[in-house]
Structure 1
Amino acid sequence: QAEAEEEDCHSDLVRTEDNERPGEANLQAELQMFRAQWMFELVPGVSSSSVETRPYRASARGPAVKATDTKGKQELAKEEKARELFLKAVEQEQNGALYEALPMEVLMYIFRWVVSSDLDLRSLEQLSLVCRGFYICARDPEIWRQACLKVWGRSCNKLVPYNSWREMFLERPRVRFDGVYISKTTYIRQGEQSLDGFYRALHQVEYYRYMRFFPDGQVMMLTTPEEPQSIVPRLRTKNTRTDAILLGHYRLSQDTDNQTKVFAVIMKKKEEKPIDYHKYRYFRRVPVQETDHSFHIGLQLCSSGRQRFNKLVWMHHSSHITYKSTGETAVSSFDIDKMYTPLFFARVKSFTAFSEKPL
């Protein structure tokens, strides 16, 4: 009897295992198909949009599976819409309908912003290389006429001997605004004699002069021993915080011998003096005479090498001190010698990276 009961229990266990095996087999099949699809999508060059979801049999689909299917369909719809818009944009660009849909006045206003108040005609020339329509807009005589008027003023009312305003701007001598004129001066100075009297030290002194011109007629000048890497970024705007900088105005003058000269009057930035408050009421102090100190500079504009208008040669440098109380002016002229080395132009890309005002 005990043997019979043991056989019955064994048969029940076998039936239970047989009933569980089909469910396990279905689950294993689903996992295998999912792994195969996942590995196929990981192959390089195969995108998720190009892979069709392989249907597989599932014994039961819960809400999580349905939500995943809905999300996948939404992603496919987004990718298809993005692809459609991209192809449409490419077609419109090939047909040239993007900028041609703009009115000519709006397009020319954009071009004036490209030139900006800094007269960045270099960017305008690069813009003309985009297409034929941009080339025609960049050759508009009005843009080049306004640029010439801003540089030379009333002296450029006549085109003679130039054929166009663009030719005048490119050929007529002028100072450049997209960089800085820099000169480096080096000299030897004797030091103090040693204590034993056997030798005297010699010092090599180096300093730089920087000049930057603006289209509105203003100029900045700075003399310092600091190298260009640290000084040039400070000269981007006229509102620099450098104390030793000199500000002023300049003008161009063309003589009968076709030599263009640059004359400038510069002075140090005026600082507000604090009001003196004295402890004693009847304190008397000898008043200091108020003066205006300015420098007058004369330079000759030249070209060297392949670059044009990239060299400034010193012609005149003097100091003017005017006493406000009497109106008298004391003038001291400096001798132009080897210490006044020519200034050479260095283009600075960051000066024309932004536009503050249109032309």
Structure 2
Amino acid sequence: MELTTLPHTDIEVSKICLGTMTWGNQNTEAEGHEQMNYALDQGVNFFDTAELYSIPASAERHSNTEKIIGSWFQKNQNRDKVILASKIAGKADMTKFIRTTGFQKDALISAVEGSLERLQTDYIDLYQLHWPERKTNFFGQRGYVYDASDFWEDNIHQVLETLRDLVQEGKIRHVGLSNETPWGTMRFLEESKVHAGLPRMITVQNSYNLLNREYEIGMAEISHRENIGLLAYSPLAFGVLSGKYLGERLPDNSRLKLFPNYKRYSGKTAVAATQNYYKLAQDYDLSLTQMALAFVNSRPFITSNIIGATNMHQLEENIASIDISLTDEILNKIETIHNEIPNPAP
């Protein structure tokens, strides 16, 4: 397994990160334990979760995933073998059953303490803000749209102060962002630069895959010049980049069969681009899954690639992508397809 370092730390993490958001809904506790056992055996030491998971968000299933990870730690007594990341859910209609106060001090403290209890651990290595409190373009919205009803007041200093206190208490070690924009990322970074003692955001967890390379517009330069690493989620675009939905197929128990509203990567142009990538992978005797994940792994701004699976075959193939190196010829042909159909999914 290839290792990288969390920016501005000496913490080594695997280039492949184990995503967990299906555990507690599509996957049972036993299946989650099996996945963690296999991943750790393969050198994957970086796990990502959130208080919101499993998905889709619901009052009945929220935090199930953290509980499954916690029971695995308790069973195996191996917390020291894993670099663990979790997230606080942002303010939104779909999270009112968790809390309604966004990233206020009491909400952050409550969220961290709740996660620690469920995860059966004394600390979280990387704690992330799942999405911004302000109204902006995230979760499938391609561009920023001005909204006169957005009365968000800049509370970034206060958020960082609370996170600083949690770091000083030893409950979290480092902090990161998720689903964040260039403006938001720089705003957090500048605040910690200007005010000594505030924690620095070291990573940002945004979607990135062959169908959505919008991270390269603005965010990639921030990664390079500010040394903030991308934790890429949805590298297979909800499984679309496995090719299993081509030909209008809808396999049983697949995410799009179970949750048909997850259409972010199912538009006509996205399907056309997927077909082109599928043919390219076939031309070089690769699976589309291997090529798609290897592409993400190869990007210079990637700290870790968050893969997820609902069965062991998928998990094995996803982790094995670390052994695939794409030639310049393949990468050039990927760019040709991208230039013909750029970012077909937001």
- Which structure exhibits the higher relative contact order, with contacts defined as CA atoms closer than 8 Å and separated by 6 or more residues? 2
TM over 0.5: no
- TM-score class, shorter-chain normalisation, is under 0.3
Q: TM-score, normalised by structure 2?
A: 0.22
Report which of the two has the higher share of helix: 2
Report which of the two has the higher share of strand: 1
Structure of higher CA gyration radius: 1
